[in-house]
Amino acid sequence: MPIYEYQCNVCGARQARRRALSDTSPPRCTGCGSGDLVRLVSVFSVVASCRDRTRDVSWIDRDLASRLERKAGGKLSQDLAASLERMKSC
């Protein structure tokens, strides 16, 4: 069961939820109870050395963050944005 990360548009609280793929009901904020949550694109694991990642970095460009946001339909989490910046600087 995947874990999704959400941010509340009312109180700003970030929260992770384990949800079945079939669960399409809108989650509610654990902080304020609002149903106005946006799903964040979260960090993923990359099993590769920095050298391996830099062999072909053409897919890591300054537009990658916005492309990921469009594909996922949400904002990047701060952790993922920081990971992308680290990958660009290898």
34 binds Zn ion, rule: CB under 5 A: yes
Q: Determine contact, residues 39/9, Cβ cutoff 8 Å.
A: no
Among residues 33 and 82, whose Cβ is nearest to Zn ion?
33
- Cα–Cα distance, 27 to 16 (Å, whole number): 11
- Cα–Cα distance, 74 to 7 (Å, whole number): 10
38 binds Zn ion, rule: CB under 5 A: no
Stretch that binds Zn ion, among 28-36, 42-50, 52-60, 76-84 (CB under 5 A): 28-36
Considering only residues 8, 40, 41, 76, which one is a binding residue for Zn ion as defined by CB under 5 A?
8
Task: Write out the residues near Zn ion by the rule CB under 5 A.
Answer: 8, 10-11, 13, 29, 31-32, 34
